[in-house]
Amino acid sequence: MTRRLDVLVCSGAACVSSHSAAVRDALSREIDENGLSNEIRIVETGCMGPCELGPVMLVYPDGAFYIHVKPEDAAEIVQEHFLKGRPVKRLLWEDPEARRIVEGKKQIPFFAKQVKVVLRNCGRIDPENIEEYIAADGYEALGKALTQMARNEVIQVITDSGLRGRGGAGFPTGKKWQFVASATGETKYVVCNGDEGDPGAFMDRSLLEGDPHTVIEGMTIAAYAVGASRGYIYIRAEYPLAIKRLQIALGQARKMGLLGENILETGFSFDIEVRMGAGAFVCGEETALIASIEGERGIARVRPPYPAVRGLFGMPTLINNVETWGNIRHIVLNGADWFRSIGTERSPGTKVFALSGKVKNTGLVEIPMGMTLRELIFDIGGGIPNGKKFKAVQTGGPSGGCIPEKYLDTPIDYESLKELGAIMGSGGMIVMDEDNCMVNIAKFFLEFTSDESCGQCVPCRTGLPRMLDILKRITSGNGTMDDLDLLQHLGEMIIETSFCGLGKTAPNPVLSTLKYFEDEYREHIEEKKCRAKVCTDLIAYRIDEDACRACGICAVNCPVGAITGELGKPPYIIDEEACIRCGTCLEVCPFGAVHVLSGELCNQDKREGSK
C-alpha cells in the first residue's frame, strides 16, 4: 500500500521541552493499533517556528497544523483525521484575527509572510536521516561545485550574491573567502562559529538541530573553494541535542563519501570535527573562538593579522557563522541573481530571527531583508499580548540596542539598524512592552557583559563595572543628573578603547536607551519613579481598602510575614519596612486589591509613614 499521510512532529528544543516525544509515542501506538503503519509515517523534524504553541505538528498532504498537542489527543486525531479525514478542529491553530479555524499552514499569518531559504528544511525533514536531506536537493550544490565549477568560480558566485556575515557585523562573505583563498599556509582551516552566546537567540541552535547537513555542505563547498582540508564546528556545550544531531549527520556524510577522503571521487578531501565550548560569551569573538578551539582560555588576540592570514594553529582560517553557512548551498545551486532577488540591494537574502519577549507568536522566523520591524513584530509576531502597549524592541543582544516605537517602520537591514544605534546582530529580537523598565534592561545587559568580560583589557574589565555601578545607583533611586553625562562619556570611551568586539559594543544597550528613553532615566533620578514598576527600590505595594475582602490569602503567602489583618475585617495592611517587594501578594490576591505604586504618591506615602 502506498503512503497516504506524513505526520511531521516538531522536535525542536522548545517542543521537546513541551514533551513532543510523548506525543510521538502515543501517535505511533495509535497508528499501529489501527493497522495504519504502512499508510502513515511519523517524521521528527527540526523547529517549525511557533515555539509558544508547542508541541506542534503538521500533517501532509492536507497541511493541517496542530498546536498544543497532548499524548491523550492521539486517539482522537488518528480516529477522526487519519481514518475519517476530518481534522480535529479544537486542536488546529485558530487565527485570532479572523476568529476562524485555520486548516492550512500557508493561511496562517505567522507563516504567510515568511520566506524560508536557510530554514527551508527545518520542520520539513528528519534531521537524523541524510536520505531525506538528499531528497530535498541536498549535496547537489556540493556536487555542482566539485564537478562543474573551478575554485574561483565558487568564490565569485558568493561574492556576486552579496551575502554578508549573518553573525551580525555583516562583512561581505565572498571577500572573506577570497582573503583565505589567496593566503598561503601548509594547511587551511574552515570554522563554523556556533557559539551562539547572545541571550535571547536560538537561530543557530534551531538550524543545527533541524538541518545539520546544510551547514556541513556549506562548509565543504567553502573548503573546496579556499583549499582547506579540515573543518571545525565550534558549538556551545549547552546545546546537547544539536551536538548529537551534528555527530549523526557527520557520520552519515562520511559513510556516503560526502565527507572524508576523496569526496565524490573527485580527489578532494575534507573532514569536520565538532568542538564543544565551555560557557564563555567572549568565545563568539572570532579570535577568542580560535583560542578556545586550541584548548586555551578564550581570550581575544590582536588583529591584524586577521584569521584569514593567521588563524587557527597559526594557519589561514575561514570563519563564518552557522546561518551564513546555511546560505551557501542555495546560492551555489540557484545563482547570485536569484539570491539578489530576495532582500534589499545592500543586504540581499533573508535573515533568521528568534522572536521572543512580549509578543504573541514567539519563535523562529525567517524574513526577507528589508521587511519593516512593524511587519515582523505585528504581522508575523501577532503584536503584544494582553492588550499592553509596545515600548521597544531589542536587537543584537548585549552588543545591540533598543529601538522605540517611532522607528518601527524602519526596514530590517544592516545599515538601517546601525543608524538607529542598534545592530542586526545574530538575530535575537526581544520585544518589550510598557511593563519593562528600560533602565533595568540596560542594567541587565551591563551585568551580563561585565560578568563575561575576559579581563584582558582595562576599559572593558574596569569600565563596564563602573557603568554598572552608576546604573545600580539610578535604579535604586540614588542617581544624580550628572550620572547621565558620566554614562555617556564612559560608554563612548569604552567603545573607543576596548580591545575586542565585546567591549567595543557592550555600552550600546546603555547608550541606545539613553538616547531614546532618557525621560525614563530622568524619572528614576528626579522623581524616584519607575513607570514600569520594575525597580524594587522605587516601588511600594498597597492594599486597596475598598477592594480588600480580608480573605487573608496575601498574608498566608507573604514570604516575610509583612502583611497583617484580621479575617473578614478589611483591610489587610502591608508593613512597608518588612516588605521585600516580591510581588507575591499581587499575584495571589483574588480580588485585584493589591496595587503597585511608584513615584510621587508612593514617596509621599513613605514620608507620611515615617512620621
Under the rule (CB under 8 A), what is the footprint of other proteins? 13-14, 16-18, 50-52, 54, 196-202, 205, 237-240, 273, 275-281, 292-298, 313, 354, 356-358, 362-363, 394, 397, 428, 430, 432, 436, 441, 444-445, 448, 454, 559, 582-584, 587
Q: How far is the CB of 493 from other proteins (least distance, A)?
A: 25
**Cell triple for 313:** 594553529
Name the region of 397 (left: φ>0; alpha: ψ -120 to 50; beta: rest): left
Which one, 174 or 311, has the nearer CB to other proteins? 311
Q: How far is the CB of 283 from other proteins (least distance, A)?
A: 9
Which one, 162 or 298, has the nearer CB to other proteins? 298
Inter-axis angle of helices 212-226 and 140-148, nearest 10:
10
Amino acid at 79: Q
Going through 277-421 in order, the beta strands assigned E by DSSP cover: 317-321, 350-357, 363-368, 390-395, 401-404
Q: How far is the CB of 51 from other proteins (least distance, A)?
A: 3
Which one, 283 or 551, has the nearer CB to other proteins? 283
Q: How far is the CB of 90 from other proteins (least distance, A)?
A: 21
Q: What is the rounded CA–CA span in Å between residue 479 and residue 462? A: 20
**Is 306 exposed, middle or buried (CB count within 10 Å of its CB: 0-12, 13-18, 19+)?**
middle
CB-side exposure of 167: number of CA atoms within 13 Å?
21
Q: How far is the CB of 242 from other proteins (least distance, A)?
A: 9
CB-side exposure of 524: number of CA atoms within 13 Å?
30
Which one, 116 or 275, has the nearer CB to other proteins? 275
Amino acid at 198: D
Which one, 171 or 313, has the nearer CB to other proteins? 313
Which one, 455 or 609, has the nearer CB to other proteins? 455
Do residues 505 and 399 lie in contact, with contact meaning Cβ atoms separated by under 8 Å? yes
Report helix, strand or coil for 513: helix
Q: How far is the CB of 344 from other proteins (least distance, A)?
A: 27
Backbone angles phi, psi at 136, to 5 degrees: -95, 45
Query: What's the length of the chain?
Result: 611
Which one, 423 or 441, has the nearer CB to other proteins? 441
Q: How far is the CB of 294 from other proteins (least distance, A)?
A: 4
Name the region of 345 (left: φ>0; alpha: ψ -120 to 50; beta: rest): alpha
Q: What is the rounded CA–CA span in Å between residue 288 and residue 267? A: 33
3-state secondary structure 50-89: CHHHCCCEEEECCCEEECCCCHHHHHHHHHHHHHCCCCCH
Beta bridge partners of 263: 268
Which one, 526 or 587, has the nearer CB to other proteins? 587
Q: What is the rounded CA–CA span in Å between residue 114 and residue 105? A: 12
Q: How far is the CB of 178 from other proteins (least distance, A)?
A: 26
Which one, 141 or 207, has the nearer CB to other proteins? 207
Which one, 279 or 609, has the nearer CB to other proteins? 279
Which one, 157 or 293, has the nearer CB to other proteins? 293
Which residues touch 275 (CB under 8 Å, ≥6 apart)? 232, 233, 234, 235, 292, 293
Do residues 254 and 260 lie in contact, with contact meaning Cβ atoms separated by under 8 Å? yes
Report helix, strand or coil for 215: helix
Q: How far is the CB of 337 from other proteins (least distance, A)?
A: 35
Q: How far is the CB of 204 from other proteins (least distance, A)?
A: 9
